[in-house]
Amino acid sequence: MKTTAIAPTSPFLSPHSPRVEQALEWNVPQVRVDLQQACRVLSDRGLKLAAKWAAEQWMGLPPFTKAKTLGESTVNNVREPVLAPSVVVEELGDVEATNPHVYYAKSLMDLGEYAHAAAVLSAPIPKHASIESMPPPLAGLSPAAFYLRAYALYMAGERRKEEEYLELKNEAQKHVPARNPYLQQLSFELLDAYEDDRLDAFGLYVYGMILVACETHNTVPPHSPPAFQVLVRSVCQFPWNWSAWLDLATCVVQNRSLERIVEDGLEDLHGHCVYHLFCAHIHVEHQDHEEALVLYERWMEPKLLPASPYVLTQYAIAQYHLRQFTPSQTVWENLHQTMPYRIDSMDVYSNILYVQEDAVGLSQLAHTTVQVDKYRAETCCIVGNYYSLKQQRAKAIQYFQRALKIDRTFTSAWTLMGHEYVEWKQTANAMEAYRRAVQVAPEDYRAWYGLGQTYEILNMHLYALYYYKKAAHLRPYDARMWCAVGTTLVQLNMVADAIRAYEKALSHDDKEGVATQKLAALYQQEGQQENAAQCYMRHLELRHQVTYPNAGALGSSSLTLETMLQGLVLESPEAEAVLFLANYHKSHGELDTAGTLASRLLEYSGPEKEQAKALLRELRSRKATVERRGMQTRSQDTAPDDSFAFSP
């Protein structure tokens, strides 16, 4: 489905940039060789997620077919020409297998023995020293070996951090972000290596990752370079490390002032495919889903990455955030059918099934994912959505909590659990869940919106307004955010500001008709009858389009006022709109139009029915009066003129 892109809010690659066309002319055989080598290089360095990502892009490349020449038939299964890997991949090569210590450390990393692996490449531990601290690295380590030790030590610290968190019994302590115990030691060791220029692309990646963590805890050592600068150097030396790109994206999302600097630093990669996928990822993080959708759409073209599971997944996620549920569901279904054991991001698919109230589809998806891997956070969220749809709140919360035990940074679980607590009227628990979601992902508008809803339930409208404005700032093109802001402003008697909020919602495609109805009522309250009539009529059109999506615009040959009214499902807002429009047209002397509108309310059971009956009686009386006056006028015009009568 083609989309119309809005003006980009980020300096990063726009879908309409000439660099998009530059990347479209890429060399598929060379990219295939580079990805093959990159998968091996990343696997050798223990970067499993980055290796998986590279393999997905490798899988997504179009199959090789020999080009036809004049008089030559197509030959299937022709071997692709043998090419050498690009220089940037070839220079890194393998982790040195001739050094037994390095090979042993790599084997220990594969087994998950990270502290042991780091110790193998560290200086000997003094006889009476505690093993809680790690000695410095061995002298003379190669860049690859130095990276392995640093990465292993970092992973050992992450494991200890998680273990200490699980052992906490005081809930208040769990709100304090846990720290990796080796963070400070690594930051100083890597700073020395960085200043001595002893870090390769992967050493730079680990250093950048450490600096990102230090910046989070405000523990960056003096004279350290910025994290984004180190990560830019890393990806420029080895562009296929997607994990480094994700950490760089974290820097950019947290500090938008860095965007232009990073953009300039990556100038040499503007024609590289990974840079384009990075830009699409940035657009998603900034909620610029229209921009991201166009970029992913380009990369799904047959000559690029038509079968990449990653690109297809991100494309479907962007459609989901734009509320294009039907096309997104089609992509998810094809993905799930092609790769039924792939669970990545399947919780988003379950959200679509939930919104569409497809209990059967959601049940089947939950059953499948439980069979594949019941201890994945995505699986727990899918099952939680299933129980939520069945109105079994306690079980839904139980599964969202289980997801968070597996991965407490899984933002969707926090947000969905907050929704359940709201439905259960447990506002304190709901606020706690939403706040945890905001801590994990400050750019996620759903948690801010949820906090606004919770405070609105408590009638704390100033607090609700603050959180709704945060959500609207993160998602300014979403009419629902501005409707929420407008509703809260009405509660605070800030009518002029509420009108502006609803006008913004109206300018951002208010498909559900909430803004049109609310705005019309405010215009009516402020005596702006013309604007109120336009909004009410627009509201009726939108509600008619819900039932008849292919209907034309009002006034066209396919949709007259009578046709629209007959196809309209009357509820209280629609009845209010029809009654106002009937009175409006009556006041403008358009009695036939007013009668047509009022007649539609005779089938409605609300109080507007009696008002419509009274209006119709008034219209009939006025018509009768007009007709009598017309007859009197005509009789006077046809009476004989006695001015020329003969008088004797």
Short-list 389, 369, 387, 377, CA closest to 414: 377
pLDDT, residue 628, reads 72
Percent of the chain with pLDDT over 70: 84
Return the minimum-mean-pLDDT range out of 81-95, 363-377, 525-539: 81-95
The span from the CA of 548 to the CA of 574, in Å, is: 16
Asked whether residue 4 carries a pLDDT value surpassing 90, the answer given is no
Q: The pTM is what? A: 0.84
DSSP 119-153: HHTBPPPPTT--TTS-PPBPTT--HHHHHHHHHHH
* Max Cα–Cα distance, the chain, nearest Å: 152
Q: Are 383 and 346 in contact (CB under 8 A)?
A: no
Single-letter residue type at 596: T
- Cβ-based burial of 9 (10 A; exposed 0-12, middle 13-18, buried ≥19): middle
The CB density around residue 249, as the number of other CB atoms within 10 Å, is: 21
Q: Which of 94-103, 239-248, 268-277 has the highest mean pLDDT?
A: 239-248
The span from the CA of 400 to the CA of 406, in Å, is: 10
Phi-psi region of 51 (alpha: psi -120 to 50; beta: other; left: phi over 0): alpha
The token pair that represents 562 in the structure block: 């009578």
* Average model confidence (pLDDT) across the chain: 85
Entry field: residues in the chain: 648
Residue 5: band (very low, low, confident or very high) from pLDDT cuts 50, 70, 90: very low
Task: Give start and end residues of each alpha helix (H) in 238-299.
Answer: 242-254, 259-265, 273-285, 289-299
The span from the CA of 260 to the CA of 12, in Å, is: 8
SS3 content of the chain, % helix, strand, coil (to 5): 65, 0, 30
Return the minimum-mean-pLDDT range out of 330-339, 441-450, 622-631: 622-631
The token pair that represents 545 in the structure block: 């389009």
Short-list 482, 448, 491, 490, CA closest to 466: 448
Q: Are 448 and 470 in contact (CB under 8 A)?
A: yes
